[in-house]
Amino acid sequence: MTENPLLAPWTEPFGLPPFAAIKPEHYPPAFDRGMDEQLAEIAAIAKSADAPSFANTVEAMERSGQLLGRVSRVFFNLSSSATNDALEAIARDYAPKLAEHQSRINLDPDLFGRIADLHARRETLGLATDQMRLLERLHLDFVRSGALLDPAGKQRMAEISGRLATLHTLFGQNVLHDEEDWQLVLDAADLEGLPEFARNAAAQKAADRGIAGRYVITLARSSVEPFLTFSSRRDLRQTAYEAWTNRGYHDGLHDNRPLIHEILVLRAELARLLGYDSYAVYRLDDSMAKETAAVERLLSQVWEPAKRKAAAERIALQELAMREGTNAAIAKWDWRYYAEKLRQAKYDIDEAEVKPYFVLENMVQAAFDTAHRLFGVNFAERQGLPLYHPDVRVYEVTDDAGGHVGIFLHDNFARTGKHSGAWMSSFRDRDSLDGEVAPIIVNNNNFAKATPTLLSFDEAETLFHEFGHGLHGLLSRARYPSQAGTSVRRDFVEFPSQIYEHWLAAPETLRKYAVHYETGAPIPEDLLRRLLEARNFDQGFATVEYTAAALLDIAFHTDPSPATIDVETFEQAVVSRIGMPPEIAVRHRPAHFQHLFSGSGYAAGYYAYLWAEVLDADGFEAFAEAGDVFEPHLAARLKDIYASGDTRDPMELYLAFRGRAPRIEALLKHRGLAAAE
Give yes or no for residue 594 binding Zn ion (CB under 5 A).
Answer: no
CB of 471 to Zn ion, least distance (A): 12
DSSP state of 147: T
Pairwise CA distance, residues 74 & 155, whole Å: 30
Using CA atoms, how far residue 288 sits from 378, 488, 512, in Å, is 33, 10, 37
Output 342 or 499, the one with its CB closest to Zn ion: 499
Output 197 or 546, the one with its CB closest to Zn ion: 546
CB of 469 to Zn ion, least distance (A): 6
Output 571 or 613, the one with its CB closest to Zn ion: 613
Using CA atoms, how far residue 485 sits from 376, 463, 468, in Å, is 17, 18, 11
Burial readout 74-97 (b: 16 or more C-beta within 10 A, e: otherwise): bbebbbbbbbeeebbebbeebbbb
Output 105 or 422, the one with its CB closest to Zn ion: 422
Q: How many residues bind Zn ion (CB under 5 A)?
A: 2
DSSP string for residues in 374-424? HH-EEEEE--S---SSTT-EEEEEEETTS-EEEEEEEEEE--TT--SS-EE
Pairwise CA distance, residues 463 & 422, whole Å: 8
CB of 287 to Zn ion, least distance (A): 16
CB of 642 to Zn ion, least distance (A): 14
What's the first-to-final CA gap in the chain, in angstroms?
A: 70
Q: Are 99 and 161 in contact (CB under 8 A)?
A: yes
Output 307 or 419, the one with its CB closest to Zn ion: 419
CB of 596 to Zn ion, least distance (A): 15
CB of 465 to Zn ion, least distance (A): 6
CB of 491 to Zn ion, least distance (A): 12
DSSP string for residues in 105-127? HHT-HHHHHHHHHHHHTGGGTT-
Output 362 or 497, the one with its CB closest to Zn ion: 497
Output 352 or 653, the one with its CB closest to Zn ion: 653
Catalytic residue check, 466: yes
CB of 363 to Zn ion, least distance (A): 17
Pairwise CA distance, residues 11 & 657, whole Å: 40
Site for Zn ion in 464-523 (CB under 5 A): 494, 497
Pairwise CA distance, residues 631 & 635, whole Å: 6
Q: Which residue is nearest to Zn ion (CB)?
A: 497
DSSP string for residues in 154-201? HHHHHHHHHHHHHHHHHHHHHHHHHHHH--EEE-GGG-TT--HHHHHH
Pairwise CA distance, residues 99 & 104, whole Å: 9
Output 259 or 596, the one with its CB closest to Zn ion: 596
Using CA atoms, how far residue 605 sits from 267, 388, 601, 602, in Å, is 14, 32, 7, 4
Q: Of residues 466, 501, 545, 613, which has the active-site annotation?
A: 466
DSSP state of 330: P
Pairwise CA distance, residues 20 & 618, whole Å: 46
Output 80 or 497, the one with its CB closest to Zn ion: 497
- State which H helix or E strand residue 426 sits in: strand 423-428
Measure the CA dihedral 491/496/498/500, to 10°: 180
CB of 396 to Zn ion, least distance (A): 24
Per-residue binding string, Zn ion, 270-309, x by CB under 5 A, is: ----------------------------------------
Phi first, then psi: give them for residue 572, nearest 5 degrees. Answer: -60, -45
What is the length of the chain? Answer: 677
Active-site residues: which are they?
A: 466
Binding site for Zn ion (CB under 5 A): 494, 497
